[in-house]
Structure formats: C-alpha cells, structure tokens
Amino acid sequence: MAAALDAAAAALLGIWESAREGTANRVSGAQLRAVMVVEQYDGINLRRLATRLDMLLSSASRLCDRLVAAGMLEREPGRFDRREISLHLTPEARRLLAQLRADRQAQLAAVLAGMSPEGRDALLSGIREFDETARRQQTQNAPTPDEPTGQGDWPNDPDRPGGRSGDWSGDSGRQIRTGWTGSSGGPEGSVGTTREWSAGDPPVARTA
C-alpha cells in the first residue's frame, strides 16, 4: 500500500514542485519555508523560528538576514520584550505566497476536472484522514522547543545548515480551493488541509 501511494503521489508532488519553481528566482527553498512559518506565526522570534525550521540559531539568523535584504521580512522590537526581535512578512512576501498558491491551485483544478465526482470525493476524504494521522504522529514526535537539532530539510540549498533531506512544501494556514462540484451536487469545499494546530507546537517539515 505504501509503495502504491508513493508512486501515485508523484504527480501531486510534481505540481507542488512546479509551482515552487516559479518562486525559485526570488527565494530559495529554505527561505520560502521560513516565509511560510512567519506567515503562520506572525511576530515569531528568531529562536522559535530556528526550532520550527530545525536549524541552528546562527543558520536561521543568516537566513533571515537574506530575507530582510530581499524585502521579504521585517524585524521589529517584540511587543512584550523590547530586547527580542519579532519577524513579520512584508507585502512583497505576501504577494509571493499568493502567486505560489494561485499557480498550484490552477494546476490542481485542471487535474481534478478530469476526475469523476466519486473519485474526487474519495481523494478528498483519504487526504484529510491521512493529514490528520500524520499531524497527530508529528505532534507526538515534535522536538522540544528551543532545542533545534541543527539539521535542515533542504538538500543542495545555500541556506541549508546540513543534515537529512526532506519535504520543503509545508503550506501554513491555507486550504487549496477549487471549483469542482462534489457528488452531492454542491461545490466541493477544499483540497488540502488547514494549518491550525490544536495542541503543542508542531514541527515544520511538512508539505508548499
């Protein structure tokens, strides 16, 4: 079953990668992941960002320096502790994420339009259950806050501090909305998952 799913997921991952390539001339994979985390946790400090990215603090600091220079991040004094620096997205970063999601959703909608209503319903139900299970397992195995391992998740990336390879594509706080009709006759709501965590601080290395 796992092997069959791995093979079937290749097309879906191809769509993810194709959409991300549209941003590659502006931000690296690691930088894009950081932007998504800051979007989800507006005002996050550098230490928490490093933990969620599974990076050393020094590596996360250099990554943020590049994002500030690229006009994607802003640094401000913390609201509760002026000695801390909080991170926020710029309008340019928000436009970048909107473009990424629009490209991805258009490609998904084109594929979904060729599927039967029953197939779309089954796909949506299965993906939701898969996501819930994966979230639950990741929450149980989440690293202790403020103790990043220093292993990044972006092979061959200049912002990668080293370690294992992984999946860059975690999208924060968004659903993939499409315009097909479900088997009930009404519009289907969404494909994908929301990124609201009910408990704990989840790891970031998930599926952009």
Q: What is the mean pLDDT of residues 189-199?
A: 39
What integer pLDDT is reported at residue 63 of this predicted model?
A: 96
Most trustworthy range by pLDDT among 45-49, 81-85, 165-169: 45-49
What integer pLDDT is reported at residue 16 of this predicted model?
A: 86
Q: Kindly state the greatest CA–CA separation across the chain.
A: 56
Most trustworthy range by pLDDT among 11-25, 89-103, 128-142, 176-190: 89-103
**Domain ranges (residues) in the chain:** 24-195
* 140-164 pLDDT tens trace: 886 655 554 444 444 445 444 443 3
- CA-nearest of 78, 83, 34 to 55 is 34
Residue 198 has pLDDT above 50, yes or no: no
For helices 29-40 and 46-53, the axis angle rounded to 10 degrees is: 120
Reported as type and span, the H/E element at residue 73 is strand 73-77
What integer pLDDT is reported at residue 25 of this predicted model?
A: 84
Q: What is the mean pLDDT of residues 112-130?
A: 94
| pLDDT classification of 175: cutoffs 50, 70, 90 | very low
What integer pLDDT is reported at residue 164 of this predicted model?
A: 36
Token digits for 160?
A: 């990668």
Most trustworthy range by pLDDT among 3-12, 19-28, 64-73: 64-73
Residue 46 has pLDDT above 90, yes or no: yes
Please state, in angstroms and rounded to a whole number, the distance separating the CA atoms of residues 181 and 202: 33
What is 24-195's CATH number?
Answer: 1.10.10.10
Reported as type and span, the H/E element at residue 3 is helix 2-21
